[in-house]
């Protein structure tokens, strides 16, 4: 956070709560750095074995999942990280989209980013305006337009609640 925005946020918190400068500063800094982590769901049953073999190699010790920060989402998988500004997320819901046995990181022709390791726990995010994928080996070094993102999560309902959008469930997820 730039210094002038930080000072403005501290002043606003002091005015709203009556806290002294040091307490308000600490609270604003903690809030700014607060990131919630949601692990990617992995289930080898019914998905390709290649992902199970290559994921540990390309992950370089990093966890796969979604980091939900105040201003953005960071979708991480082996060798891939997509940053999505929270203002671009227009809708989020549970989904039961057909994966056709695929897992890993893919972008289809409709501009849907698929980051999964399982068929269940899928959450679909609708993005407007669309984002661009980074140039990584997972995307064949191409920049693709992403209009939606589908992610398999261990705790999809907790993610939807933390995202502060009204979760919409599909009949298959109930």
Predicted TM-score (pTM) above 0.85: no
Model pLDDT for residues 23-70, shown as the tens digit of each residue: 888 888 777 767 788 998 877 665 566 666 665 566 555 678 898 987
Residues 28 and 71 in one domain: no
Where would I find the H helices in the chain? 3-17, 21-33, 49-58, 156-163
Residues 17 and 53 in one domain: no
H or E element: which one contains 91? Answer: strand 89-94
- SS3 category, 69: coil
Residues 43 and 13 in one domain: no
Model pLDDT for residues 101-159, shown as the tens digit of each residue: 677 788 888 889 988 888 889 999 999 999 998 887 767 778 889 999 999 999 999 99
Residues 63 and 148 in one domain: yes
Model pLDDT for residues 63-92, shown as the tens digit of each residue: 788 989 878 899 988 778 899 999 999 999
Residues 27 and 66 in one domain: no
Q: Give the structural domain span for 19.
A: 3-33
Residues 126 and 99 in one domain: yes
The first and second tokens of residue 47, run together, are 């998905």
Residues 60 and 130 in one domain: yes
């Amino acid at each position: 956070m730039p210094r002038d925005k930080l000072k403005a946020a501290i002043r606003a918190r002091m005015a709203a709560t009556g806290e002294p400068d040091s307490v308000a500063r600490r609270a604003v800094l903690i809030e700014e750095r607060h990131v919630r982590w949601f692990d990617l769901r992995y289930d080898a049953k019914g998905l390709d074995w290649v992902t199970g073999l290559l994921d540990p190699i390309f992950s370089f010790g990093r966890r796969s999942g979604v980091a939900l920060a105040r201003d953005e989402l960071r979708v991480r998988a082996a060798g891939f990280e997509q940053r999505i500004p929270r203002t671009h997320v227009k809708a989020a819901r549970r989904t039961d989209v057909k994966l056709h046995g695929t897992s890993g990181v893919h972008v289809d022709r409709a501009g849907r980013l698929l980051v999964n390791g399982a068929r269940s726990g899928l959450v679909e995010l609708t993005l407007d305006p669309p984002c661009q994928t980074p140039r990584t080996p997972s995307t064949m070094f191409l920049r693709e337009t992403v209009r939606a993102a589908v992610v398999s999560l261990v705790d999809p309902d907790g993610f939807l609640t933390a995202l502060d959008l009204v979760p919409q469930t599909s009949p298959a997820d109930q």
